[in-house]
Structure 1
Amino acid sequence: MDEDQKQQLRDDLQFAIMKAEQLTVLDPKASAGSKKNPMDIKSLVDVFTVFGFSADDIIDKHDQCTIFKKIRAELDDLLRDLSLNTKKYDKAIVLRDRLRLIKREFVEMQGIYEGRRQEKETQHFNRGVILAKQHSDILCAARAENYEREILHRQKELKKTHEVERAQLETYLNKLQEPHVKFSSLLLELRNTEKNLAKLKLFEDAKNVFVRVDSMEREERVLNTAKFERFKENKRALLLQKQQQELAEAEEKLTEKRYVVQRANDNHRKTELQRMKNLKADMKHAHTMDMHSKKVFSTNAVAAVRKSHNVTSSTYRGQQLLSTVQGKRLEVASLCLLHDSENGVVPPGSVCGDWCRVVTSNSISY
């Protein structure tokens, strides 16, 4: 029921009550035991029984004040008549005490209704705290999961980069040709000596020199090949060292970022926890002030309530928090239940606000 419908229903009720005010509800001449006999009204329950309400009915605050105002006015008139005109002081004393009792019970009833409302707000708030914590955990988990996914992507990219670098290095090394051998000066001199001995036909000496030259040449070629292999291994070692350093730096940065995300999640949880504590303290303070506020005995508002009172007031923090974290309805009800709601059945998951109205044959509930 929207605000316009609520206001229209209020206007209709007020019009009906105004019409009823033209008539006298109580009848001093009614038989004993009748609910309209003023002397049979002993408590507030009897007052509402006159208007067709039972002790278990939940009555609108506006209707409470209207009924109380009407009955008190008639009882005051009767008390004035008993004390001033008929001089029936015994009945006047009884009626005066009952009026005081009814007023005290009316004040207590307003406190009970306010306590029910505050208890409902507390339940809404506790439910909202649970849902807010769940949302906070989901947000923190999603933040950590997104970063872990980013870390995995960066690690894969770095791994691919290293594989490409190793492949490029191997391709480069495979294309390299072994450098020419730089023979020693002794070997070159022995070659010249061998050649000169052969010219002088000293073949025996030339043969001995040739054997030595051949042995030295093989040794120097082996040394040159070994030097070339060491060069290639050195290139591979330098690349491996560079890649290991990059991996270490990347791991350090990723670990630092993990701590940043963890601190952000911790700060978010602490902020949410402190926010809930502040909201709860604010609501409890507002509830305490409401319980100590002056009770209303008139249908006319003592102070005008702002239009957004239910949306922004601290006393409705439970509804506000629950509506924020879960919306107006926790789950989508079935089509049949939505049709049933037109007959007063509230679908499961619906959040019934403070002014949610259910009209029955005997009572008006808020």
Structure 2
Amino acid sequence: MGKPGGSRFALRLAALGFAGALLAGCGGETPPAPPPMPVEVVKAAAQDTPLYSEYIGDIRAGSEVAVFPRIGGVVLRRAFTEGSMVRQGQLLFEIEAREYVSARDVALANVAAAEAQAARAGEDVARYGPLVAEDAIAQQVYDNAIATAKAADAQVKATRAALRNAEITLGYGQVRAPISGRIGKASVSVGQLVAPGGVELARISDAGRIEVYFSPSEEELLSFARLSPQEKADAQTGIKLVLADGTVLPQDGTIDFADRAVDPTTGSYRLRAVFPNPGGQVLPGQFGRVQIKVQTRKGAVVVPDRAVMEQFGTYFVMVVGKDNKTEQRRVTVGTQAAGQWIIEDGLKPGEAVVVEGLAKVRPGMVVQPLPQGGSKAYAQEAMKKAAGKQ
């Protein structure tokens, strides 16, 4: 009787032989290698690049107006939608004005009475004129008639002025928007009693222009003072505003205000930049980052910021060589501005770096470089080829 160990060894040999026969029956073909992974690349460029200093900015409305009642009364109606855009002169509130209607009517009556008195005084002057010429009446009587007519004319003017004032006051019962802009929440309710100049009714912010306040340090102010006249002019125009989500406001701003002194408690200097804000896309109260151009770097090597990887304070790019093999290369970065990194060392102009598909690429891989934005077209072409083989 044979040994159990020997039997197991024989069985293993038989199994291996059977597996080999199966492989031989399949023809011994190896599956084709997968195609190189498509990645989008951009060539590092040497170009004149503006450098920016960046500051946290406090965004405010270009103008903000609080709306107050100018007469007292009960609020009858709110005529706007809270949070909507309103036009200058648009009706906002109606305030009960019955007593002001009565005052206007009294003023109308006073004008009518004064005009009647003036007409009568004018008739007396006209009648007394011939009589005084014939010495039929005393000169004093005629002079008194002229004075009475002049006083009556003055009274007409006074009553007409009082009527205009009564009509203006009555008009205050319709509260209208003093400026165009976005109106906030109403501060009063229908039926509420308000007094002249009392509680604020609502607040309107001019949506077409924004002001951004920011504060460079004293050291940065001194650095700015050392710029050339042209650099100073450039720094005061073409101001960029980066919003909270990283987007840059399409419209450039300009500096229109500089404080009179450095704040001794903070060592900072307050500036204000104004930006067009068509459509009210930016709201007061938001925060943003103000970027001021301080100089232009001549012939700087730049790549899109998407091409640069950072790990524990060390920066890398994935370079695609002439053989389409990838190389992870350490680089020294300078300033980041306008969506680009300035590369101080480690990369030459014209070298291709991966900007899309970076997470899937490993050093030493063979890839298929595509121009920036070419992944979509490549995928569509691949789908067409796959459909054609079916």
Shared fold, TM over 0.5? no
The TM tier, using the shorter chain, reads: under 0.3
User: What is the TM-score when the length of structure 2 is the normalising length?
Assistant: 0.20
Structure ranking higher in strand proportion:
2
User: What is the TM-score when the length of structure 1 is the normalising length?
Assistant: 0.21
Task: Give 1 or 2 for the bigger CA radius of gyration.
Answer: 1
